[in-house]
C-alpha cells in the first residue's frame, strides 16, 4: 500500500463563498493549502506506464517505496506474447549517473501467467529516476525507459512487537551492565576460592557510576535518535502550494509557493509539458460537477496568469501540474473560492466541462459499469464517443499530442491523478528520460476507443473526467466510480 491520504481537513467549509468574497466579489482568495502527497498527482504515488520496448508492448507498474533509500516494486505485463526475459535497471534521469547503470536485475515471471513479470529495485536518493525495462525474446531486444519520482513519503512507526522487544532488551542490558560492573569491582581481582564481600562502598560507587553512564548513554542516544528523525522528517516530501487572486472578473493570477522541502527544488527550472509550463485544473468542490483544464502563462518565476471561462460560484480545488528540468513532476495544490465568473469560451488547448453533448452524441465508458474496480489493481479505463446509432465516433483527434487526458479525483480530495493513454507519467518527464521515446508516444491518430492504464490507489468514491478531442473541440465526460 503506497497511497497516502490527505490527513488534514480543509480549514474552511466546502462549497460556500466566504463572507469576505461576498463583499469583495472582484477578488478570489485561496482559502487553504491542502496537505497531501502530491508529486505528479496527489495521493497516487504509483507509476503506470504503457509503451513499447522495441517490438514488445508493455504495461509497467512501479510502486515506489515510502522511504528513500528504499525498494520499489515493479510489475511488467507484456501486452503481446513472446517476451522471454525482463531486465530492470534504475538510474537517475540526469547527470553523470544516468550514463553508468548498475548491474541489471532480472524480473521473475509470475507463476501461472506467461506474460507478467515482477521485480524489485532500490531507489537510493531523492529525485527524478528512470527504470530501464529491457525486454528480450525471439523478436530481439528493446528498452522502455520509465520515469519514476523518488521521494520519501513518511516515517514508518515501530511495530508494537519490535518496540516491546527493544524495550525489554534495553532494560535487560542496562541492568546487566550495572550488575557486571558491580561484580567486576567486587570479585574479579580476588584470588580463586576467596569469598567475596557481599557489598562494599567501592562496589556501590562503581555501580552508581555505571548507572549514571548508562542513563547518560540512553539520554544521549535518544537525543541523537530524535535529531536524526527530525532531519529525516525534513526530507519527507512537502507538496508545492498554489495561491490565486482574481484580479479581473475573469483573470486569475497564480503564485506557486514552496513550503520548504529540499533546497534543490527550484521554480525557475520548469519545462513545458505538451507545450505548457503548467496544466491547471480547477474542480468545483465538493460536488465535482465542474472542471476547467487551463494552461496559464508564466509571468515571472513562480507566477502564472490565465483567463477563466465562465464558471459558477463556489469553492474550487486547484491542481497545478508542472515538470522540472530534471524530469521531476509535481502537482501544486490549493483551494480557491470563486464568485460567478462570466468568462470567454475556452480556446486552444483549454477545456472545461462536463460537456453538454449535442443531440445524438455522448461519451461512454466502455464496459465501465460491468466490471468492479479494485483498489491498486491496474486496469485499462476505456472511453469512446458514440452517436445516436450507437456507433463510435471515428473522427477523434489528438489532444495535446495524446489520445486524451483523464483526471481521477476522490470525493474526499485525497487523490488527484492526471493520466494519458500512456499512463501516469507526464510526457515532459518521458522526454527528459528519452526524447526518442517521447516522440514515439505522441499519437497522430486516435480512437475510436481511448484507454487509460491506472490503478486507483484507495477504496472509495471517485469522479473520472475524460477529455477527448473531436472535430477540433475538446469535450469532457464525467463518470462516477466506486472503488472496492
Contact between 169 and other proteins by CB under 8 A: the answer reads yes
Q: Does residue 106 interact with other proteins by CB under 8 A?
A: no
Q: Which of 156, 347, 370, 445 binds other proteins (CB under 8 A)?
A: 156
Q: CA-to-CA distance for 406 and 476, rounded, in angstroms?
A: 9
Q: Are 286 and 317 in contact, with CB atoms under 8 Å apart?
A: no
Least separation in angstroms between CB 68 and other proteins = 5
Residues with Cβ within 8 Å of 325's Cβ and at least 6 positions away in sequence, in order, are: 94, 269, 270, 271, 432
DSSP 8-state symbol, 39: S
Q: Which range, of 13-21, 79-87, 97-105, 406-414, touches other proteins by CB under 8 A? A: 97-105
Smallest distance from the beta carbon of 145 to other proteins, in angstroms?
13
Strands (E), 249-323: 251-257, 279-285, 291-294, 297-300, 303-307, 314-323
Report the site for other proteins in 221-250 (rule: CB under 8 A). Answer: 221, 224-225, 228-229, 232
For the bound state, the minimum distance from the C-beta of residue 322 to other proteins, rounded and expressed in Å, comes to 24
Q: Note every long-range contact of 183-189, with CB atoms under 8 Å and residues 24 or more positions apart, other chains counting.
A: none
Q: Which of 13, 184, 249, 348 binds other proteins (CB under 8 A)?
A: 184
157, with CB counted inside 10 A (0-12, 13-18, 19+), is exposed
**Of the two residues 192 and 472, which places its CB atom closer to other proteins in the complex?**
192
187 touches other proteins by CB under 8 A? yes
CB of 221 to other proteins, least distance (A): 6
Instruction: Identify the helix (H) or strand (E) that includes residue 169.
Output: helix 160-187
> How far, in Å, CA of 225 to CA of 360, rounded?
66
Does residue 196 bind other proteins (CB under 8 A)? Answer: yes
Q: Which of 29, 183, 380, 459 binds other proteins (CB under 8 A)?
A: 183
| Cβ(140)–Cβ(163) below 8 Å | no
Q: Applying CB under 8 A, does 177 fall inside the site for other proteins?
A: yes
Nearer of residues 159 and 347 to other proteins, judged by Cβ: 159
CA distance 307 to 343: 8
Using the rule CB under 8 A, is 204 a contact of other proteins? Answer: no
Report the residue number, 173 or 440, with the smaller CB distance to other proteins: 173
Of 441, 415, 443, 472, the C-alpha closest to 41 is 415
State which of residues 17, 57, 115, 122 lies at the interface with other proteins (CB under 8 A): 122
Sign (positive/negative) of CA torsion 196, 197, 198, 202?
A: negative
Using rule CB under 8 A, residue 189 touches other proteins: yes
| Interface residue with other proteins, options 50, 91, 422, 476 (CB under 8 A) | 91
For other proteins, which residue of 125, 200, 248, 299 counts as binding (CB under 8 A)?
125
The three three-digit cell numbers of residue 133, written as one number: 525495462
Task: In angstroms, give the least distance from the CB of 43 to other proteins.
Answer: 21
- Give the contacts of 274 (CB within 8 A, at least 6 positions apart): 349, 400, 401, 402, 427, 428
Looking at the Cβ atoms of 232 and 357, the one nearer to other proteins is: 232
Residue 72, helix vs strand vs coil: strand
Q: Are 136 and 83 in contact (CB under 8 A)?
A: yes
Does residue number 166 form part of the binding site for other proteins (CB under 8 A)? yes
The 46-85 site mask, x for binding other proteins (CB under 8 A), equals -------------------x-xxxx---------------
Angle at 284 between CA 483 and CA 300, to 5 degrees: 115
Q: What are phi and psi of 229, to 5 degrees?
A: -65, -40
Q: Which of 9, 11, 140, 176 binds other proteins (CB under 8 A)?
A: 176
Residue 205 found at the interface with other proteins (CB under 8 A): no
Minimum Å gap between C-beta 217 and other proteins is 8
Under the binding rule (CB under 8 A), the answer on residue 101 touching other proteins is yes
103 binds other proteins (CB under 8 A): yes
d(CA 348, CA 92): 35
Among 29, 97, 262, 364, binds other proteins (CB under 8 A): 97
- Is residue 366 part of the contact set for other proteins (CB under 8 A)? no
Cis peptide before 69 (omega within 30 of 0): yes
Strand order in the sheet with 379-386: 362-365, 379-386, 450-454
Interaction of residue 180 with other proteins, rule CB under 8 A: yes
By the rule CB under 8 A, 262 interacts with other proteins: no
Residue 265: CB minimum distance to other proteins, A: 18
Q: Is the CB of 222 or the CB of 299 nearer to other proteins? A: 222
Contacts with other proteins by CB under 8 A lie at 65, 67-70, 89-92, 95-97, 100-103, 105, 122, 124-125, 129, 152, 155-159, 162, 165-166, 169-170, 172-173, 175-177, 179-180, 182-184, 186-193, 196, 221, 224-225, 228-229, 232
Amino acid at each position: 500500500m503506497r497511497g497516502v491520504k490527505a490527513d488534514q481537513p480543509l480549514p474552511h467549509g466546502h462549497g460556500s463563498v466566504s463572507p469576505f468574497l461576498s463583499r469583495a466579489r472582484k477578488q478570489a482568495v485561496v482559502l487553504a493549502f491542502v496537505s497531501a502527497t502530491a508529486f505528479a498527482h496527489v495521493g497516487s504515488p504509483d507509476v503506470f506506464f504503457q509503451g513499447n520496448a522495441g517490438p514488445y508492448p508493455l504495461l509497467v507498474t512501479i510502486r515506489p517505496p515510502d522511504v528513500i533509500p528504499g525498494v520499489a516494486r515493479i510489475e511488467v505485463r507484456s501486452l503481446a506474447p513472446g517476451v522471454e526475459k525482463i531486465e530492470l535497471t534504475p538510474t537517475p534521469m540526469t547527470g553523470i549517473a544516468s550514463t553508468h547503470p548498475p548491474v541489471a536485475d532480472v524480473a521473475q515471471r509470475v507463476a501461472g501467467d506467461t506474460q507478467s513479470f515482477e521485480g524489485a529495485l532500490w531507489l537510493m536518493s531523492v529525485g527524478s529516476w528512470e527504470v530501464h525495462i529491457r525486454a528480450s525474446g525471439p523478436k530481439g531486444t528493446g528498452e522502455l525507459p520509465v520515469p519514476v519520482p523518488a521521494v520519501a513519503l513518511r516515517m514508518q512507526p515501530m511495530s508494537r512487537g519490535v518496540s516491546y522487544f527493544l524495550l525489554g532488551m534495553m532494560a535487560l542490558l542496562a541492568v546487566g551492565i550495572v550488575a557486571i560492573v558491580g561484580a567486576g569491582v567486587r570479585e574479579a581481582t580476588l584470588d580463586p576460592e576467596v569469598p567475596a564481600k557481599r557489598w562494599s562502598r567501592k562496589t556501590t560507587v562503581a555501580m552508581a557510576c555505571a548507572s549514571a553512564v548508562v542513563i547518560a548513554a540512553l539520554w544521549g542516544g535518544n537525543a541523537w535518535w530524535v535529531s536524526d528523525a527530525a532531519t529525516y522528517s525534513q526530507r519527507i516530501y512537502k507538496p508545492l502550494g498554489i495561491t490565486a487572486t482574481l484580479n479581473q472578473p475573469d483573470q486569475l493570477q497564480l503564485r506557486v509557493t514552496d513550503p520548504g522541502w529540499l533546497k534543490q527544488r527550484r521554480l525557475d527550472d520548469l519545462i513545458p509539458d505538451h507545450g505548457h509550463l503548467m496544466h491547471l485544473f480547477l474542480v468545483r468542490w465538493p460536488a465535482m460537477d465542474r472542471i476547467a483544464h487551463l494552461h496559464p502563462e508564466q509571468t515571472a518565476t513562480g507566477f502564472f496568469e490565465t483567463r477563466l471561462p465562465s464558471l459558477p460560484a463556489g469553492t474550487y480545488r486547484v491542481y497545478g501540474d508542472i515538470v522540472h528540468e530534471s524530469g521531476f513532476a509535481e502537482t501544486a495544490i490549493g483551494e480557491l473560492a470563486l464568485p460567478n465568473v462570466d468568462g470567454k469560451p475556452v480556446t486552444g488547448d483549454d477545456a472545461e466541462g462536463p460537456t453538454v453533448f449535442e443531440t445524438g452524441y455522448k461519451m461512454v465508458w466502455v464496459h465501465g459499469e460491468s466490471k468492479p474496480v479494485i483498489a491498486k489493481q491496474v486496469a485499462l479505463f476505456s472511453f469512446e464517443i458514440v452517436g445516436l446509432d450507437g456507433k463510435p465516433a471515428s473522427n477523434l483527434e489528438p489532444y495535446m499530442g495524446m489520445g486524451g487526458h483523464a483526471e481521477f479525483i476522490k470525493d474526499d480530495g485525497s487523490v488527484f491523478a492526471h493520466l494519458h493513454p500512456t499512463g501516469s507519467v507526464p510526457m515532459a518527464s518521458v522526454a527528459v528520460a528519452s526524447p526518442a521515446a517521447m516522440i514515439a508516444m505522441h499519437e497522430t491518430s486516435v480512437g475510436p476507443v481511448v484507454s487509460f492504464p491506472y490503478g486507483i490507489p484507495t477504496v472509495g468514491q471517485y469522479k473520472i473526467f475524460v477529455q477527448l478531442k473531436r472535430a477540433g473541440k475538446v469535450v469532457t465526460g464525467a463518470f462516477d466510480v466506486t472503488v472496492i
